[in-house]
Amino acid sequence: MRIAIHQSRTGIDPAANARTLAEAVEQAKAGGADMLFTPEMSGLLDQKRERAAAQLRDEAADPVLAEVRGAAAKAGIWVHLGSLALTGGAEGRLVNRGFIIDDRGAIRARYDKIHLFDVDLPTGESWRESAAYAPGDRSVVASTPWARIGLSICYDLRFPDLYRALSNAGAELLSVPAAFTVPTGRAHWHVLLRARAIEAGAFVVAAAQCGEHQDGRATFGHSLVVDPWGEVLLDMGEGEGVGFADLDMARLADVRARIPALKNRRPIGAVEVSA
């Protein structure tokens, strides 16, 4: 399986972002990729909520989703559109939703981000995703011609129970589109992604946002592809662009045979806490 990753610096204009995504689809196809992976918030990255609200639509009316579906069909390539901010969530909130799109432009799977990032950072940055977004309530494994893909988004990375559930359900590749902050990215991005790959004996593909964005935030970049042994096959550094990696699915069977952690898993019962 040959994959492409689009590392982007998404801005505040969905139309411009859609054009950039369509160009990435074309580049991925030209590079021989079977599937393109894009970051979290590929359609709009804007921390000013009132300005962003004027641009947001529900799934059926979202122009970025429509553009990417059309580009995928035209190029004849699968796309994991990492996520879009969409209206239509519970209690009038938004959803942070990722899509698996096939080579005819059809949506094969959807995943709403389960874990929401609410934190005050030492840098002075404050994030309250739950104020605007409704959390998802189900994990998703999508079937493709090459691999079963377990879906997640950004902050989900810190919750290994999700990846345990995905690998138990047959996931062979874990996708982690993200817009990681720079401080947390430097500290934890590489080690957590490698850990998820090793724990699940699975490939990990993490398409990331990068650089200084129009809304004033900065993201870490370093889109990664990690193999089931924890080896980094691709690190895209800090710049925008499309990168490629070849995944040998036989490697998956080899690693799982050498360390049969999935077969050896056992249910964890109640925790005994001594006085």
Using CA atoms, how far apart are residues 203 and 150, in angstroms rounded to an integer?
Answer: 10
Which of 29, 67, 154, 210 does the annotation list as catalytic? Answer: 154
Q: What is the CA radius of gyration of the chain?
A: 18
Using CA atoms, how far apart are residues 187 and 72, in angstroms rounded to an integer?
Answer: 35
210 is catalytic: no
Annotate 119-154 with b (16+ C-beta within 10 A) or e (fewer): eeeeeeeebebeebbbbbeebbbbebebbbbbbbbb
Phi/psi of residue 36, each to 5°? Answer: -110, 140
The strand ranges marked E within 138-252 are: 141-143, 148-151, 173-175, 203-206, 210-212, 218-220, 224-226, 232-235, 241-246
199 is catalytic: no
Which of 29, 40, 129, 210 does the annotation list as catalytic? Answer: 40
125 is catalytic: no
Which of 29, 67, 113, 129 does the annotation list as catalytic? Answer: 113
- Known catalytic residues are 40, 113, 154
